[in-house]
Amino acid sequence: MRHNYLFTSESVSEGHPDKVADQISDAIVDLFLSKDPEARIACETLTTTQLVVLAGEIRCKGVFENGAWAEGAKDEIEKTVRNTVKRIGYEQDGFHWESFRFENNLHAQSAHIAQGVDAGENKDEGAGDQGIMFGYATDETPGLMPATLYYSHKILERMAADRHSGAAPFLEPDAKSQVTLRYEGSVPVAATAVVVSTQHKAGYDENDPVRQAELEAYVKGVIADVIPANLLSETEYFINPTGSFEIGGPDGDAGLTGRKIIVDTYGGAAPHGGGAFSGKDPTKVDRSAAYITRYLAKNVVAAGLATRCTIQIAYAIGVSKPLSLYVDTHETGTVGDDKIEQAILGIAKLGGLTPRSIRTHLGLNKPIYQPTAAYGHFGRTADGDFFPWERLDLVDDLKAALA
């Protein structure tokens, strides 16, 4: 392990074109799960200048069955998409929630995939695809997330809140942030660089130095509110380094579902299996198994068994039993990593980490996904049905299993 180093993570706002696509895809997931908890959804979204396109495979009682749409279902889907873009705040000539062109190319789920995933008389529900998924936790922040990503998310969340409330009327929806921290003894001791690029209304650039200074002062104020003062003594700031960022969002760059998987997870501080989350129902282990591994890693750290923990799990399509479980506490564990693996597999309520047991234990067959699609799926606050993978209700079970 290295103990002294610089590390950087980035985030993007809810108005970033890829995040617009993610939020639309997850709005469709929530719509279908609200109708049918056993719905199958794999919804991909493309956004570009005055255009939103949906594509993918679906199955949902009362919405799309036997290859046919229920009456009014297509209209409800389009309304859901437009309302999502409206909530984000796009009312621009190049991308307006009310007037963009919309295409719905969703179609029936493959029968060959369905036969492998669905439970039958002699088989449990299988994984929706093969793949490897990773979870991670670290004690750097109260939410057990990497500090670089935590601060990057919080800067943009605050700016979005100020835009929606009217406190920062010069902001537009698209934005990116990036935070570099210097670590000494594996502890963050200084923010050496902070980058914020934010879309803005006309006039807040180098052509109007007074307004440009107002924007820069506002962003620095947000950074000061988010990052502790003791970390900002040597910070170099890069605020809209291109000088102007008036054209943005899907009008400035096309967006696609699933292109911000590192922003969605751990900011590069942990491995990633490669599968995106948004647009997928919880039978897809790309999503559900990534959630359970985060849940496991977070509870391992919260139980005091390690200060850092990475967990990998692997599946084969149509097979319920995971192929492997791997725990790495990065030489910070208080017990052997193999002992933690055994403890996890021995906890009865986890059900052997089959896809069905993951969905049941975390309560994933509910319309809870749109809030995950901006500012990270992890490090959030468990709140009722939402973000159940952030709960710390496995701590006592782990301790008991390892006693």
Calculate mean pLDDT across residues 96-107.
97
Residue 253 assigned to a binding site = yes
Asked if residue 236 belongs to a known ligand binding site, the reply is no
The alpha carbon of residue 111 and the mean position of all alpha carbons in its chain are separated, in whole angstroms, by: 29
Per-residue model confidence as pLDDT tens digits over 309-347: 999 999 999 899 999 999 999 999 999 999 999 999 999
Given a cut of 70, is residue 111 above it in pLDDT? no
Q: What's the pLDDT at 386? A: 98
234-272 residue pLDDT tens:
999 999 999 899 999 999 999 999 999 999 999 999 999
**Of 311, 376, 354, the residue nearest 153 (C-alpha):** 376
22 labelled as ligand-binding? Answer: no
Alpha carbon dihedral 347, 353, 358, 362, in 10-degree steps, equals 30
Assess whether pLDDT exceeds 70 at residue 218.
Answer: yes
Arithmetic mean of pLDDT, 12-31: 98
349 annotated ligand-binding residue: no
User: Residue 226 pLDDT more than 60?
Assistant: yes
Q: What is the pLDDT of residues 296-311, one digit of tens each?
A: 999 999 999 999 999 9
Among residues 160, 183, 176, the alpha carbon closest in space to that of 90 is found at 160
Q: Within 10 Å of residue 236's Cβ, how many Cβ atoms?
A: 10
- Angle at which helix 147-165 crosses helix 209-226, to 10 degrees, equals 130
Average pLDDT over every residue of 65-85: 94
Cα separation, 31 vs 108, in Å, equals 16
Mean pLDDT of all residues in 343-371: 96
- pLDDT grade, residue 3 (50/70/90)? confident
As a whole number, mean pLDDT of residues 76-87 equals: 98
* 74 belongs to an annotated ligand binding site: no
Q: Which residues, including other chains, have CB under 8 Å from residue 390's CB and lie 6 or more apart?
A: 143, 294, 295, 298, 378, 379, 380, 381, 382
Reported as a single tens digit per residue, the pLDDT across 112-164 is: 565 566 665 555 677 878 999 999 999 999 999 999 999 999 999 999 999 99
**Residues facing residue 383 across a β-bridge:** 386
- For residue 117, the model assigns a pLDDT of 66
The pLDDT tens digits of the residues spanning 39-51 come to 999 999 999 999 9
User: Has residue 372 got a pLDDT over 60?
Assistant: yes
In this structure, what token pair is assigned to residue 279?
């647009």
pLDDT score at 13: 98
Mean pLDDT of all residues in 54-63: 94
Q: Are strands 131-138 and 308-315 parallel, antiparallel or unpaired?
A: antiparallel
* Structural domains in the chain, sorted by start: 5-12+147-247 (3.30.300.10), 131-139+282-402 (3.30.300.10)
Q: According to the model, what pLDDT value does residue 123 have?
A: 59
- What is the mean pLDDT of the segment spanning 7-25? 98
* Percent of the chain whose pLDDT exceeds 70: 96
65 pLDDT tier (thresholds 50, 70, 90): confident
pTM: 0.95
Q: So what's the pLDDT on residue 143?
A: 96
Active site residues: 16, 18-19, 44, 57, 176, 245, 253-254, 259-260, 280, 284, 286
* CA 82 and chain centroid, separation: 21
State the Cα–Cα distance between residues 111 and 117, nearest whole angstrom: 10
Question: Mean pLDDT over residues 165-174, rounded?
Answer: 97
In this predicted structure, the answer to whether residue 172 has a pLDDT above a threshold of 90 is yes
* DSSP per-residue letters across 311-324: EEEEE-BT--S-SE
pLDDT value of residue 33? 97
